[in-house]
């Protein structure tokens, strides 16, 4: 099988945080256009495809040169459904002989992920073909959790740091990362067989700075707009 990789963006029509978020114009293009453009400029993906239940989203995606797939099963577009589901549904619809070896599942709500990061994701995916790669950033936070989930009076326990010895997280000898959700890469066969994006080992692909911005609500949107305006001013100066 040729080691080809498709980049697939699952995009839902409804959005409770920001109305019509995926096609709302951010800067000089619709939100989904940022991800499509960066993936195309990475120049490593045989196909950049958007799967959605919204014809309007698919029309915008086509305008940016992406291939499209209309989801007819409304259950796949429920707000509580993981993005794995529509991606899996699409890949299952493709005849086995035409399926790619790898897939990069991309969330268009992270508009500042660069083409270089997508290239690095692709490169790592080829190296670690039997594992999942995922977008992440280095963690420097002290994390705590309740001892018992269903007891609000239960004590709090440290997760990633010793209780009696406080050392700056940046000096920790063990590298820890936070999963961002911006993208996941995996073997298509393993993904379809397991029914989940994580099926074996997993390795992070680090992203940073503005790439970490993920738009879920109006505050996130306004912050992303501010970042674009700031870059525009700096560039013009």
To 10 degrees, what angle do helices 55-63 and 31-42 make?
A: 40
How far apart are alpha carbons 205 and 91 in whole angstroms?
24
- Torsion 155-156-159-162 (CA) sign: negative
Residues 6 or more apart in contact with residue 8 via CB below 8 angstroms: 49, 50, 51, 87, 90, 91, 103, 104, 105, 106
For 30, the token pair is: 């619709």
- Provide the whole-model pTM: 0.87
- C-alpha distances out from residue 219 to 79, 207, 222, Å: 20, 22, 5
Ramachandran assignment for 23, one of left (phi > 0), alpha (psi -120 to 50 degrees), beta (any other): alpha
For 187, the token pair is: 């073997």
Residue 237 has a pLDDT of 47
How far apart are alpha carbons 203 and 191 in whole angstroms?
15
- Specify the DSSP class assigned to residue 12: -
- Listed by start position, the domains of the chain span 5-138+177-236, 140-175
Residue 236 has a pLDDT of 52
Residue 1 has a pLDDT of 42
- Specify the DSSP class assigned to residue 130: T
- Specify the DSSP class assigned to residue 87: H
pLDDT tens digits in sequence order for the chain, 237 residues long: 457 999 999 998 877 778 899 999 999 899 999 999 999 999 999 999 999 999 999 999 999 999 999 987 666 555 545 778 899 999 999 999 999 999 999 999 999 999 999 999 999 999 988 899 999 998 777 788 887 877 778 888 877 777 666 665 555 566 788 999 999 999 999 999 999 999 989 999 999 999 999 999 999 999 999 999 887 655 554
User: For the chain, first and last CA: distance in Å?
Assistant: 50
CATH number assigned to the domain covering 5-138+177-236: 3.90.550.10
């Amino acid at each position: 099988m040729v080691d080809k990789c498709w980049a697939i963006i699952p995009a839902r029509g409804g959005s409770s945080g920001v109305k019509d978020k995926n096609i709302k114009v951010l800067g000089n293009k619709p939100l989904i256009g940022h991800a499509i453009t960066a993936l195309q400029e990475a120049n490593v993906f045989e196909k950049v495809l958007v799967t959605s239940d919204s014809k309007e989203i698919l029309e915008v995606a086509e305008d940016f040169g992406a291939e499209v797939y209309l989801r007819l099963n409304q259950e796949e577009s429920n707000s509580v459904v993981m993005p794995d589901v529509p991606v899996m549904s699409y890949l299952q619809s493709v005849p086995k002989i035409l399926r790619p070896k790898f897939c990069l599942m991309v969330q268009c709500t992270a508009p500042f992920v660069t083409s270089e990061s997508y290239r690095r994701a692709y490169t790592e995916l080829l190296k670690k073909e039997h594992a999942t790669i995922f977008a992440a950033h280095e963690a420097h936070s002290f994390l705590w959790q309740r001892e018992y989930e269903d007891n609000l009076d239960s004590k709090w326990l440290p997760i990633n740091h010793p209780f009696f010895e406080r050392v700056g997280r940046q000096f920790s000898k063990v590298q820890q990362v936070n999963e961002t959700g911006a993208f996941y890469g995996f073997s298509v066969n393993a993904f379809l067989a397991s029914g989940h994006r994580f099926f074996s080992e997993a390795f992070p692909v680090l992203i940073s700075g503005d790439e970490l911005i993920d738009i879920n609500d109006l505050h996130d949107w306004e912050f992303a707009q501010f970042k674009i305006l700031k870059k525009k001013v700096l560039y013009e100066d």
